[in-house]
Amino acid sequence: MALAPVSRTSSSPGRSTRVMIVDDSAVIRGMIGRWLTEAGGFEIVATASNGRMAVDSAERSKPEIILLDIEMPEVDGLAALPLILKAHPSSKVIVISTLTQRNAEISLKCLSLGAVDYLAKPESARAAGAANDFRRDLVEKMRALSETRTRQPRTYAALTPAAVSSLPLSPVRSSITRPQCLLIGSSTGGPRAVERVLSDMRPVLPGIPVLIVQHMPAMFTAVFAEHLQALLSIPAREARDGDAIVPGTILVAPGGRHMGVASSGGKAIIRLNDGPPENFCRPAVDVLFREAAAVYGASALAVVLTGMGSDGTHGARFLTKAGAAVIAQDEATSIVWGMPGSVVKAGLAHEVLPLESIGRSLKGLMTGASK
């Protein structure tokens, strides 16, 4: 099958990232190893065909990134994950599974157990387009995690332009409109970050609608919404075209479709579309932010959480121009500081906060208790 070329630019000058590949298929192990070698910047230090072998190999080979298949004989990925992280806690684990509801549920469970990301494996190696997408996504995620490994994170806490002149933060307004809609954009590491933010602001969730764009494949988003509902005891589901946007409801953009906002009869509703990807993403955070800015103006409140790439930055410009506040997760607590970092560097964030402070800040803005 023909595969799209991948840049060989190294993600880490001077030293390659140590990688372990865990999959019961020798063909898949060989294929992934070849892709990463061709991409450059990665060293395959171990492979394993089941979870038991992976636990033993992790302790010996000390990989920095582990690609972990879910469905394997003897010990599967879900059972092996906590044992692997116990054997080598500093490893970053990306779980890999085919697109089924069961595997989506297991993948999200793995994220709650410490995996940092997931990849959807094509069902057939003969599908060239799916293999190309899988290869591109794999290398991009690996690069993002590798670059994070080489960076010394800076810590930001409740920053203002006066406090830290080196950061191009958006000017803090003397008064902030009481938020009428919360917008959240996230990608790599996002599911756990979203859970933390919403859990921390749980008492005020009945008073505001929450719209979430999390970069996820189809099927995963519905399972993610169900998980949020079980966790928060707040109605949460995958958004449908025409849904009314009402307080006390969490709507998640469906994988593979853009989620925007429109006004109909004086009320805000969801608009889904199959337009081209933006920032290589569909759903894209930019679409949600841009359309919400037109409908909600200054009463929108946006959060950009951990994630690779720059999705959300263009949309954040529309929000800040409309007078809405944008909060970005800080570098130290982000799995990948791509999306929030891009917003900060563009001067569009009003605050840059560690993950554990974001929910409290949002709650303060809703109750009027913020500074």
Active site residues: 187, 215, 311
* Residue 363 and residue 179 in contact, taking contact as beta carbons nearer than 8 Å: no
Strands 210-214 and 250-252: parallel
Helix (H, G, I), strand (E, B) or coil at 141: helix
Q: How far apart are CA 269 and CA 338, in angstroms?
A: 30
Phi-psi region of 347 (alpha: psi -120 to 50; beta: other; left: phi over 0): left
The most distant pair of C-alpha atoms in the chain lies apart, rounded to whole Å, by 63
* CA atoms within 13 A of residue 137's CA, in its CB half-sphere: 23
Least Cα distance to 31 among 118, 99, 104, 128 occurs for 128
CA dihedral of residues 222, 226, 231, 233 (deg, nearest 10): 130
Helix (H, G, I), strand (E, B) or coil at 127: coil
| CB contact set of 237 (below 8 Å; sequence gap of 6+) | 222, 225, 226, 229, 250, 251, 252
Q: Which residues pair with 2 in a beta bridge?
A: none
For residue 347, give both structure tokens.
């001067």
Q: How far apart are CA 95 and CA 176, in angstroms?
A: 41
| CB contact set of 147 (below 8 Å; sequence gap of 6+) | 11, 12, 336
* Residue 243 and residue 204 in contact, taking contact as beta carbons nearer than 8 Å: no
N- to C-terminal Cα separation, the chain:
58
Q: Which residues of 205-223 are buried (b: 16+ CB within 10 A; e: fewer)?
A: beebbbbbbbbbbebbbbb
Q: How far apart are CA 321 and CA 309, in angstroms?
A: 22
